[in-house]
Amino acid sequence: MHNKFLGTGEKGYHPIRKIKVCISGLRYAIHYDFSVAYKVYLSLLTLIACFFLRQWIDSLMVMAATGLMLIAEMFNSAIEALCDFIEIHNNEKIKVIKDISAAATGIAILIWAVILVVEFSRLARVMLF
């Protein structure tokens, strides 16, 4: 992509290329990071159940929580990979950076897990009665 301030890169904005890069990154995260993959599959199962039971607000809440969790997981993976690339030896500053990134991811996962547990219990009640 063209950087208009530095005058570098390719000229022009290509939204299709941006979408391809986004899908490629998501595919890579799901394929190579188990923590991302199983969360995506659990969310998809919940979304399918919400969709078939016509629980539209629940579907939107699960989508939002899944999006938050995926963003946090992928940023955490990217930060860890960048830190490992910059410093291969033990470094206390890098450890703090990774710990903060993991804490942010943990908060997002906690929110996602609470929402999924609530939705599973609500869906179970709907299906039983």
Instruction: Read off the pLDDT of residues 24-82 as tens digits, 9 standing for 90 and up.
Output: 988 888 888 888 888 888 888 888 888 887 777 778 888 899 999 999 999 998 999 99
- Name the pTM for this structure: 0.74
Residues 12 and 68 in one domain: no
Do residues 27 and 83 share a domain?
no
Structurally, the chain folds into a number of domains equal to 2
Q: Percent of the chain at pLDDT above 70?
A: 90
68: containing domain: 34-128
Is residue 1 predicted with pLDDT exceeding 60?
no
Residues 58, 86 within the same domain: yes
Do 59 and 14 belong together in one domain? Answer: no
113 in the same domain as 61: yes
Report the distance separating Cα 45 and Cα 2, nearest Å.
40
Q: What's CA 92's distance to the chain center, in Å?
A: 27
Instruction: Looking at the structure, tell me whether residues 17 and 60 fall in a common domain.
Output: no
Residue 41 and residue 20 share a domain: no
Q: Are both 25 and 41 inside the same structural domain? A: no
